[in-house]
Structure 1
Amino acid sequence: MFAAVEQGLVLCSDSNILCMSWKGRVPKSEKEKPVCRRRCYEEGWLAIGNGRGVVGVTFTASHCKRERNTPQRINFNLRGHNSEVVLVRWNEPFQKLATCDADGGIFVWIQYEGRWSVELVNDRGAQVSDFTWSHDGTQALISYRDGFVLVGSVSGQRHWSSEINLDSQITCGIWTPDDQQVLFGTADGQVIVMDCHGRMLAHVLLHESDGILGISWNYPSFLVEDSSESDTDSDDYSPPQDGPTIYPIPIQNSKPVLTVSFTSGDISMMNNYDDLSPTVIHSGLKDAVVQWSSQGNLLAVAGMEKESQLYESGSLPVMKNAAVKFYNNHGEHIYTLESPTQRLITAICWGHRDSRLFLASGPALYVVRVEHRIANLQLLCQQAIAVSLRDEKDFSKLTLPPRLCSYVTAAFVSTIKPPIPDPNNMRDFVSYPTAGNERLHCTMKRTEDDPEVGGPCYTLYLEYLGGLVPILKGRRISKLRPEFVIMDPKTDGKAGMNRIKIEA
């Protein structure tokens, strides 16, 4: 395999990105059906939860074609949480989004007529450790750190709940592939097994001195999809008259592998929770985040590398660099990607049928292009040229045949379209429309009175990746006439000022 960080601008929000989830794009003609439908993996939506309590829903595309039509609105900032958003989970069959904040508030969002609104709210007042949809999307499993667990329907009805009395906290919870059992991991290395009706089945200690960070299966998150032969997705797609045919998504393994990640960085791969001889991966990464690809053949593990150095007080682990390691379903190390950042990677997420891996580190978001086969020479040359150029503007200096030009420029086409203005060319960004038909939504905020410019100021922000990017700043100069002074928000109000008159 081969993996490389996508070239172009570093995408940033205005606060730390804490969690991510991706889903494929669904045509408008099928959105009203409460069943699984055909997904387009070339285009989709990435949900991001950040430290300011905002959920960003951003359009992504992996086809590397600039001329393809995009939705009119490619970014949504969903507000409503009162604390940082720690979990985001798509329900792809029902096209819903569940989000959880640090205070225990759970929102279920649904899109209707181009807008996202809250359909359900659940606030028990306790911290949520995990939220997982069943594989058919009809049920939700919610686990709380205090030992309370809950299973409810996608429409908000409670099926059953239970109080698990433990001396340790519940850290994660998942469904088994057949949705007949639920598994919970604890901070003291235990796995608790319950059936789909809430009856306790087993209580297994996996590790005496190592807490469980997460549990997952190398199995599709949702089991079925439409079998349409079309490779593309558009809002004009019309389903067959007799309805979509439903087939299970195939995976390469005949039997799913249960993966348990521990606080030490070790990862156990087991046939089931009672496997006595698991395959153990010593990743050598601290604070690791783990996720299987949708096809179940690649396990991505991201974290900070550790190395032991002697100090006067003894041997202590020292943080080195961030890295992403890939393993196959047998636990064999396949590839290591040097991270573009030295900061802790807080979240990872597969997307676009495993051709993209999204990495979040602080407020920055990186996109990794993944080639599952052995990289050919043409791909390696494309990557080498793109790394050497760094900026697409330098590409015009090369003399290449047109066919090779289009191939090399594809390396600079961003998966996440960046409507971020160039700080050195702000005037053109606010004065001219975008190249496509998309609409860029903004938020205006009033700031404190600025003595340098006189009177209250208003700043216009562009919504992007769950954050706000300042693009214009202004103040009213007359109480009798609607006149304003508009300026660059990054200046002190003395440079780049223009007076405009607005008719009431």
Structure 2
Amino acid sequence: MFSYLSKKIAIPNNAKLKSASWSKEHGYVACGGEDGLLKVLKLEVQNDSKHKGLAAQTNLVMNQTLEGHSDDVQVIIWNEKFRKITSSDQNGLIIVWMLYKGAWYEEMINNRNKSSVKDMKVIFVDGQRICIVYEDGAAIVGSVDGNRIWGKELKYGSLTSVEWSPDGNTLLFGLLTGEICVFDSCGNYLNKMSTYCLNNIHGAVRIVSLDWYKGENNYGTRMLPSLAVCYDVGRCQLMINHEDPDPVLLNTGIQITCSCWNEDGSMLAVAGTQMSADRNINVVQFYNPFGNHLNTLLLPGKCLTACTWEGNGSLRLALAVDSFLYFANLRPYYKWAYSSTENTIIYNYSRPHTFEHSITFWNLKTNKTKIITVHHLIDICASEDYVCLICKPSDVSQGVILTMYTAIGVAIESKRVQFEPIQSMMTSNQIILINKSFIYAWQYFTPKQTLDLGFKFTSSTIRQRDGIERLYHIDTISLRTGSSSFVDDDISSSVFQTEVDWNIMNQPVSSDPISTLTISHSTRRLLIARESGLIQIYRLPDLYFEMKFSVGDNCPYRIYVNCNATCLGVIDESGIFRLHLIPDNSNSLLSSVKFQNIDNFIRKDVWDVKFEEDNPNIFAIMEKTRMYIFDGLQAEPAIHTSTYLYEFKNLEVQGVLLDELVKTVNIQPNEEFLLKTPIKKVRDFKQILEKDGLEKASEFINDNPHTKLRHLFIEACLEKQNLEMAELQFVHLQEYSGIQFIKRLRNIQSKLIRKAEILVYFKKHDEAETLLLNNDRSDLAVELRKRLGDWFRVAQLTKDTGILMKDLEQAEIWNGIGDYYRSQMLWDKASDYYKQGNDLLKFAECLYQLEDYKGIERIIEELPDCHDALYDFGLRFANLGMIKQAVHAFIKCNRRKEAIDVCLRLNEWRVAYELAKSIDSQDADHHHHQEQEKRIDNLLKQSVVCFIEQGRIIEAVELYKHAGRFLDAAELLYKEVQKIKQSSNRSPLYMKKMYVLIGLLMEQYYEQNKLQANVKPRNPACGEGVLMASSTLAGLLLTEQDHTIHNNNNGIINKESEILQNYNSIQYSNSNMNLIKTNVMNRLIDQPWRGAEAYHYIMLTIKQLYNGLFNYAFRTVQLLKDYGDILNPLIIYSLIALCAIYTRNYVACSKAFIKLENLTDISPTEQKEIKELTLDLFFRHQPINEQDTLESSEMDSMLESETKIPICVVTGQPITDYQFWMCPTCKHCAYENEITKLHNCPLCHFPVQ
């Protein structure tokens, strides 16, 4: 940042000022001094001022002297909430002043008559309370209406200062001894605050300032130091709160008299006197919350007593020195950049009550903005096309994150580096960061270069895409101090590696730190300035060291280089600007005449410089609130402005009013914030054109040739329709398009149309339209707007002028407006206009972006068959996975192959089969579609084999199911069940689920056969009875036919069939496989639910046993005898024996043990245990049924009879009722009173209705 004095107000009668305070909300400045002096001043910007910001002319609209004090006014404070002033003099008289009808009047008076007031502070939260401390140790807290709330006589000594915490819950009292006591808001003592800054300080010290930033606007991250404690010996400490154990410690080197935070807490002004043997100097030091020194401001006079900030942006500081009130202007270092190719300004501002930085990308061409938010922003830099935001990471780790953006605010790449910069710059392919001792360069990779790689991401291209990094310590090269001449000895080139060794950061800090840098884009040179005044030049992008030279002893603050790197501009810390020729540059294009006295060229209070991009002799500087343009060393008349310069090109300086721009939080920026100033040569040329005519202007151009002047001359010639002179200038400029434009103008006979074309050529479209409309040529005005693509204006003109438009022309207008909204991604508005313009493709695209797929389906229905748009719609639906809609669109446009391909890609095999089979045998493409069906079979088989090889049998079954191959799916699942039964001991529940799935697949297989059998033949001569008979017979034959085809596949034996054959042979030997397989599949087809029944009944038996339903369990377990091929007989007869024991039916138990003893597939140990158990059991019980009843006998006889009796799947008991419930899926029965207690079928889990 930079600061300078801008205004001085003298106090009458040379009265010395003792205090000053600036109202941050209302703009009043109150100052107090000797003999009861109290003045209220107000500076306001003139309403008719042409300038903005600091350059605006201000008037003193109020200068009121308040009478009431008789001694020195030492303390003045503002109550911003109630717009009141409270002042106190040396004798302890306190007066409260209020504003009434534009003047200040006395409201209240208080005089304790015991001691003088040392400090007063108003609570920030609501302004309702004020704390007053006296020299004798008294502290009083009162209300805004004058009532006393509490008072306390502190026994710790004399008081010097007081401060409220931001929340109003804590009070800090400064003592004469330098200690600080902490009290709560009710006056209760808490503790003493630690003063770390006084370590190693001996002798008396005095607190001169106790200022706690209250977070008035809550900008930025508030976990920053905000409590400033300053002592007269020059020591300060900055704390987050009064309990901060690690404050920032400052040694200002001056005798401090006062300090204060600015409006947003980002800067602390510390004012005092710098003592020296010769004389004392008034100084203001500026620091950020981290204690980094920002700037030093020197003031005239003898005694600086007070300083106070302006509230509107903190750009001005009022200082009370002797009998004068000085105003200092500040030019802060904003975080901003300019992208020249995209003509975009990128700047940062902080929104109140947020902890984020808002980054605005403002395109000056389109006047459109995009805002993004980031955290912990450090800096912004930009090149022609790209922008880099440098931010600290959210965690506590060191380093920064570099994020690359396009000029429209789209992030494209980021990199984290272990480097914290103090300044950054950017070229078209490289980012340069510096700190005090190191240079870091990242040669980034642009998206265009990524495309050039051809997406061949090898290890080398990936490393190339990440970019090349270089890290360099400034002292690596041996440097010698010397004069400004080039030193070429002891210099060696630097060699860098593509991968950075971050251990370099552990090297010691340089004794001659880096201060700033600049880049010459045209010559690709990096210039580094060091605090000693040494300049080092490196070649980019490899950072090859070239030369060094000195620019004096002062520390450079900013350096600038002209377009051909022959002249260097340097601003030092005190704002003095000098020019230096870069030595040993034989290609210098500088005018020797214009830079004869370059060593004597000095400008003061300079804070910004910009060299012309085309002419190395021209540059512009910002000096206080004036801009000077220099041609060589000759200055043009000053221009009053406070703009920040972003471009100097084509003899025109362009700047932006950042001071005003960062305040417009919720306002769209416009051209009022920009300044475009041509140099004097351009202004003189325009005057010659206006007064002396084209001939004199032509002579001026011959003496001062420049592209800008020639274009101005061409414009003047064409306005007067002097085509010959305009064509001559186009020839000088070698602009072929301009020559062609002159030829086209010569062919236009109408002067009106010719003039309109000239206006359009110079982009004065509104003037051209007005000219045509005023001459009743609305048709040409409409054509003009069509050429420009301004379809909104075309629609408005056709409506206002009543021009008759054809339907195609009207549709073109609506589609043009739709294109605009489409480019802005406003899909809902674009869709409305495309609908009116009948552009179905773009209308469907908008519906696609809006996810209105029903709307796209309606468009498909409205389109005729084989319409070109149907194929595009099909592709869109396919990408969304909406198979039904995609197939419908493809079929409607006669793209059956694409429809089948989509089905295969989305695993909709059944639909693919249906599409392949839906061709009539008499169709010419029947053979082609038979080939399609074979291709689908091969693809399906390959997919199934792939799943089997990976052990994903369930996925293979699912694939068969989706393809409508239910029998194959059931067979594959059945074999997987047999494999599981042999290899693992799965739970009955798991096995039941597998068998239920087999049963459901077989039921779907039956339904599929019925549907195929019900297809009527095309022969109309067949009678209804024949059709019914053939349908029934077909249903029986289709099952057998599928089964035969399944076992006798005549296809070629390939890898897929071999793998399937191997999987089929898991359960059976090769010799008997076909016979066994046939029997198994016949049973699977005839009785698909047997396996599910077996595991259902065994689970039901165990459940009934645990529930104590022993009779039910005994009857249920009898059913397991029929499932010996599925269940282990050992388990079956063990359960029968167990249930028989519980029901005391030892007859059935005896039979079960006989079966168990006759089992051959059990071990001898198990046979021995069974025999021992049999002997032990029947030694105690006779083999009789001890609980035989008539009902149980009837039930047992029903189960043992050969007649098929329905079994209730809920209870496992025979059904004796005439009415019972039957499941529509598995066809199993249950008692009605039992099934009503359940929600699903116990076997297949079909919902009970």
Given the two structures, how large is their TM-score scaled by the length of structure 2?
0.26
What residue is the counterpart of 2:639 in the other structure?
Answer: 405
Correspondences of 1:216-295 after superposition (within 5 Å): 216-220=211-215, 223=216, 249-295=218-264
What residue is the counterpart of 1:153 in the other structure?
Answer: 143
1:65, distance to aligned residue in structure 2 (A): 6.4
2:70 pairs with 82, 86, 89, which one?
A: 82
What residue is the counterpart of 2:331 in the other structure?
Answer: 371
What residue is the counterpart of 2:175 in the other structure?
Answer: 186
What residue is the counterpart of 1:347 in the other structure?
Answer: 306
1:211 pairs with 206, 210, 215, which one?
A: 206
Amino acid in structure 2 at the alignment position of 1:11: A
Please list the CA deviations of residues 179-209 of structure 1 after superposition, one character each: whole Å capped at 9, or x if unmatched.
Answer: 0011001111211111111111113463474
What residue is the counterpart of 1:381 in the other structure?
Answer: 621
C-alpha spacing 1:386/1:119, structure 2 compared with 1 (3 Å): same
1:82, distance to aligned residue in structure 2 (A): 1.6
1:130, distance to aligned residue in structure 2 (A): 0.6
Contact 2:44–2:61, Cα closer than 8 Å, also in 1: no
C-alpha spacing 1:380/1:333, structure 2 compared with 1 (3 Å): farther
C-alpha spacing 1:69/1:257, structure 2 compared with 1 (3 Å): closer
Q: Which moved more, 1:368-377 or 1:57-66?
A: 57-66
1:218, distance to aligned residue in structure 2 (A): 2.9
Contact 1:184–1:192, Cα closer than 8 Å, also in 2: yes
Distance 2:293 2:99 in 1: 40
C-alpha spacing 1:64/1:114, structure 2 compared with 1 (3 Å): closer
Q: Which has the higher strand share?
A: 1
Q: Which has the higher helix share?
A: 2
C-alpha spacing 1:156/1:277, structure 2 compared with 1 (3 Å): same
What residue is the counterpart of 1:51 in the other structure?
Answer: 34
C-alpha spacing 1:115/1:320, structure 2 compared with 1 (3 Å): closer
Contact 2:625–2:641, Cα closer than 8 Å, also in 1: no
C-alpha spacing 1:380/1:120, structure 2 compared with 1 (3 Å): farther
SS in 2 for 1:376: strand
Distance 2:193 2:60 in 1: 51
What residue is the counterpart of 2:23 in the other structure?
Answer: 23
Contact 1:305–1:320, Cα closer than 8 Å, also in 2: yes
What residue is the counterpart of 2:186 in the other structure?
Answer: 197
Distance 1:23 1:385 in 2: 24
Contact 1:252–1:296, Cα closer than 8 Å, also in 2: no
Distance 1:48 1:332 in 2: 30
What residue is the counterpart of 1:6 in the other structure?
Answer: 6
Distance 2:624 2:331 in 1: 15
SS in 1 for 2:639: helix
What residue is the counterpart of 2:161 in the other structure?
Answer: 172
Contact 2:46–2:58, Cα closer than 8 Å, also in 1: no
1:11, distance to aligned residue in structure 2 (A): 3.3
Distance 1:118 1:290 in 2: 29
C-alpha spacing 1:112/1:205, structure 2 compared with 1 (3 Å): same
Tell me the C-alpha RMSD between the 2 structures: 3.1
Amino acid in structure 2 at the alignment position of 1:325: Q
Distance 2:2 2:288 in 1: 14
2:271 pairs with 296, 299, 302, which one?
A: 302
Please list the CA deviations of residues 189-234 of structure 1 after superposition, one character each: whole Å capped at 9, or x if unmatched.
Answer: 21111111111111346347433222112334xx4xxxxxxxxxxx
C-alpha spacing 1:408/1:192, structure 2 compared with 1 (3 Å): closer
Distance 1:163 1:99 in 2: 22
Amino acid in structure 2 at the alignment position of 1:299: L
1:319, distance to aligned residue in structure 2 (A): 4.9
C-alpha spacing 1:336/1:255, structure 2 compared with 1 (3 Å): closer
SS in 2 for 1:381: strand
Amino acid in structure 1 at the alignment position of 2:229: V
Contact 1:18–1:347, Cα closer than 8 Å, also in 2: yes
C-alpha spacing 1:272/1:138, structure 2 compared with 1 (3 Å): same
Distance 2:72 2:288 in 1: 34
Unaligned ranges ≥5, structure 2: 51-55, 335-606, 611-618, 629-633, 644-1249
Distance 1:12 1:84 in 2: 14
Please list the CA deviations of residues 123-143 of structure 1 after superposition, one character each: whole Å capped at 9, or x if unmatched.
Answer: 001111110000021110111
Correspondences of 1:334-483 after superposition (within 5 Å): 334-339=294-299, 341-351=300-310, 352-373=312-333, 375-377=607-609, 381-383=621-623, 400=637, 405-407=639-641
What residue is the counterpart of 1:94 in the other structure?
Answer: 82
SS in 2 for 1:52: helix
Where relative contact order (Cα < 8 A, 6+ residues apart) is larger, the structure is: 1
What residue is the counterpart of 1:61 in the other structure?
Answer: 44
1:287, distance to aligned residue in structure 2 (A): 3.7
1:332 pairs with 292, 295, 302, which one?
A: 292
C-alpha spacing 1:79/1:398, structure 2 compared with 1 (3 Å): farther
SS in 1 for 2:623: helix
Contact 1:185–1:213, Cα closer than 8 Å, also in 2: no
Unaligned ranges ≥5, structure 1: 25-38, 224-247, 310-317, 389-396, 410-504
C-alpha spacing 1:252/1:360, structure 2 compared with 1 (3 Å): farther
C-alpha spacing 1:159/1:70, structure 2 compared with 1 (3 Å): same
Please list the CA deviations of residues 316-367 of structure 1 after superposition, one character each: whole Å capped at 9, or x if unmatched.
Answer: xx7531111100001111111122x041211111003311001111001111
Higher Rg of the two aligned structures: 2
Q: Which moved more, 1:61-70 or 1:255-264?
A: 61-70
Distance 1:259 1:49 in 2: 24
1:276, distance to aligned residue in structure 2 (A): 3.8
Amino acid in structure 2 at the alignment position of 1:191: I
SS in 1 for 2:35: coil
Distance 1:58 1:384 in 2: 24
Distance 1:398 1:408 in 2: 18
Contact 1:189–1:205, Cα closer than 8 Å, also in 2: no
Given the two structures, how large is their TM-score scaled by the length of structure 1?
0.62
1:123 matched to 2:111? The reply is: yes
Alignment length (residue pairs): 343
Contact 1:302–1:323, Cα closer than 8 Å, also in 2: yes
Amino acid in structure 2 at the alignment position of 1:164: L
C-alpha spacing 1:161/1:96, structure 2 compared with 1 (3 Å): same
Distance 1:292 1:72 in 2: 25
1:250, distance to aligned residue in structure 2 (A): 3.0
Distance 1:185 1:119 in 2: 29
SS in 2 for 1:76: strand
Please list the CA deviations of residues 405-427 of structure 1 after superposition, one character each: whole Å capped at 9, or x if unmatched.
Answer: 34389xxxxxxxxxxxxxxxxxx
Contact 2:17–2:323, Cα closer than 8 Å, also in 1: yes
Contact 1:213–1:262, Cα closer than 8 Å, also in 2: yes
Contact 2:625–2:640, Cα closer than 8 Å, also in 1: no
Distance 2:16 2:48 in 1: 30
SS in 1 for 2:264: coil
1:385, distance to aligned residue in structure 2 (A): 8.7
Contact 2:256–2:270, Cα closer than 8 Å, also in 1: no
Contact 1:252–1:297, Cα closer than 8 Å, also in 2: no
1:78, distance to aligned residue in structure 2 (A): 0.4
Contact 1:172–1:185, Cα closer than 8 Å, also in 2: yes
Please list the CA deviations of residues 286-325 of structure 1 after superposition, one character each: whole Å capped at 9, or x if unmatched.
Answer: 1431111111011111111134x6xxxxxxxx75311111
C-alpha spacing 1:304/1:205, structure 2 compared with 1 (3 Å): same
Distance 1:369 1:114 in 2: 27
